[in-house]
Amino acid sequence: MQATSILITGGAGFIGSRLAEQLAADACVTVLDNFLPQVHADGGALVRERLMDAGVSIIEGDIADPAAVSRAMQVSSPDLVYHLAAETGTGQSHDEPTRYVTVNVTGTAHLLEAIRAEGSVARVVLAGTRAVYGEGAACDSDGRPAIAETRDPARLARGQFDLQDAAGRTLTPLATDAATAPRPTSIYASSKLMQEYLLRQGLWGSGTDVSVLRLQNVYGAGQSLHNPYTGVLSIFCRLICDGQGIEIYEDGTITRDFVHVDDVVQAFIAAGRAETVPERPVDIGSGEGTTILDAARSLLGLWEAEGRPLWISGAYRPGDVRHAVADISAAQAALGWTPQVTLDEGLAELVDWSRITLAEVA
């Protein structure tokens, strides 16, 4: 579909601001964002400038405030809504569940009610997360599909980090897609799954389609370098710049699928424009797993800080999953989308940008 008016919640954030800038070339774009201080250390001064230069309208308001959401909906009267506003830290959600449920769940309920009241919205695209899968798809030693249980804190405390099924058999992780049933292991993941349910169930049978992209670990220039709760590569850049070493959790072989923000923005644009909406959530990643240890080593190399301490601590965090890699065949088939940016290119760009940005604030 070709949208003429687009509302992006969380549109001042890392992904949302790049999406807003690109969409503003062809449509009226409005952003609803509360410029959360944890994300926007400068109060959002730089991003406001970027968005205004691109011709994007900004409404400062909280998704958890129904009046702000109604106002944004009425002012923009959008035919397409991208819902990105969220609290995003897995570990933080364990410590502050009310905050996560208020913003991610109640905020989405407000958006749903505002979409129904406005009646102009043909499609809503949700920024979902691969976190909803928990430990994700796995198979047993005979290659048969098996369910990976949420990892037991007692085993983790003994340094046993591998995946197991309910019978205690060790499992091998597989690339995951929407054929795998969600089994969230964190409050963040549960709140993000609830967003999917709210929009799908609340807009069922209405004139508003719901499209869900489940994103892997998005990285790139523009991700907050100050938010200690999300964006592991940005956190590492900050540590390196501050002259600190890097602690690697568990045994160093935690795997993540790092996908560049430019690729993710293209996936969102494709999801907004597709003639039909895929019935199932679509997984967006690079399709390749990288260990956190290897990612840290690459960053240290690019930063020319190879001598910096890098240690595997054996520590573990509530809600963390062991392996995450997307099966991206549905994204290719349904959206004609494939990632374009290699990890080497993306990391080099991230390091260059972090170096300049952190030098400016020093």
List, as own/partner pairs, every contact residues 203-209 make where C-beta atoms lie below 8 angstroms and the sequence separation is at least 24, other chains included: 203/112, 203/115, 203/116, 203/124, 206/116, 207/119, 207/122, 208/115, 208/121, 208/122, 208/123, 208/124, 209/122, 209/123, 209/124, 209/277
Alpha helices in the chain (DSSP H): 14-23, 45-53, 66-76, 90-95, 97-100, 107-118, 153-157, 187-202, 232-241, 261-273, 292-302, 329-335, 343-361
Q: Which of 8, 64, 299, 351 binds ligand NAD (CB under 6 A)?
A: 64
- Rounded CA gap, 12 and 35, in Å? 7
Single out the catalytic residue among 100, 133, 188, 229: 188
Cα maximum dimension of the chain: 59
Tell me the window of 14-22, 293-301, 321-329, 344-352 that interacts with ligand NAD (CB under 6 A): 14-22
- Which is nearer to ligand NAD, 164 or 260 (by Cβ)? 260
Closest C-alpha among 249, 221, 226 to residue 239:
226
- Which is nearer to ligand NAD, 103 or 146 (by Cβ)? 103
Residue 338 CB, nearest approach to ligand NAD (Å): 19
Tell me the window of 5-13, 233-241, 313-321, 344-352 that interacts with ligand NAD (CB under 6 A): 5-13
Is residue 224 involved in binding ligand NAD (CB under 6 A)?
A: yes
At 328 the three-state DSSP class reads coil
- Which is nearer to ligand NAD, 113 or 140 (by Cβ)? 113
- Rounded CA gap, 333 and 215, in Å? 17
Radius of gyration of the chain (CA): 20
Give the CA distances from residue 204 to residues 123, 181, 207, 234, in Å, rounded to whole numbers and listed in that order.
12, 20, 9, 38
Tell me the window of 33-41, 132-140, 142-150, 332-340 that interacts with ligand NAD (CB under 6 A): 33-41
Residue 158 CB, nearest approach to ligand NAD (Å): 30
Is residue 14 involved in binding ligand NAD (CB under 6 A)?
A: yes
234-273: which residues touch ligand NAD (CB under 6 A)? none
Tell me the window of 35-43, 274-282, 292-300, 307-315 that interacts with ligand NAD (CB under 6 A): 35-43
111-170: which residues touch ligand NAD (CB under 6 A)? 127, 129
Tell me the window of 9-17, 73-81, 249-257, 298-306 that interacts with ligand NAD (CB under 6 A): 9-17
By rule CB under 6 A, what count of residues binds ligand NAD?
29
- Rounded CA gap, 38 and 47, in Å? 14
- 222 CA to centre of own chain: 14
The residues that bridge with 359 in the sheet, in sequence order, are none
Residue, CB closest to ligand NAD: 13
Is residue 292 involved in binding ligand NAD (CB under 6 A)?
A: no
Residue 56 CB, nearest approach to ligand NAD (Å): 13
Is residue 218 involved in binding ligand NAD (CB under 6 A)?
A: yes
DSSP annotation of 24: T
Q: Which of 3, 6, 15, 189 binds ligand NAD (CB under 6 A)?
A: 15
Is residue 12 involved in binding ligand NAD (CB under 6 A)?
A: yes
Is residue 86 involved in binding ligand NAD (CB under 6 A)?
A: yes
Tokens of 59: 């409404």
Q: Are 318 and 286 in contact (CB under 8 A)?
A: no
249 is catalytic: no
- Rounded CA gap, 253 and 140, in Å? 19
The footprint of ligand NAD (CB under 6 A) covers 10, 12-16, 33-36, 39-40, 62-64, 84-88, 103, 107, 127, 129, 192, 215, 217-218, 224
Catalytic residue list: 188
